[in-house]
Amino acid sequence: MDFCKRAPEVTDMYRISGEYNYMLKVVTASTEELVHFSERTGDFGSSYTLIVLTAPFEQKMMIGEEKVI
């Protein structure tokens, strides 16, 4: 967890159920930077990478949240 707090590429960290314990949202400027980040995480166990191709919407409001203008 400390690694993720210090890594500038990590914008969000989620504790999840299933095969893996955590899901990270990572933002890099290039695929080369993503490879470098992935190599730095190798000491923490195995992982796999999914790349967002498009984002039809982001930050959708949750039920009960007030809209911020």
pTM attached to this predicted model: 0.74
How far apart are the C-alpha atoms of 22 and 51, rounded to whole Å?
Answer: 16
Mind listing the pLDDT tens digit of every residue in the chain (69 residues)?
899 999 999 999 999 999 889 999 999 999 999 999 999 998 888 888 999 999 888 777 777 767 666
Q: Which of 55, 57, 56, 50 is nearest to 25 (CA)?
A: 50
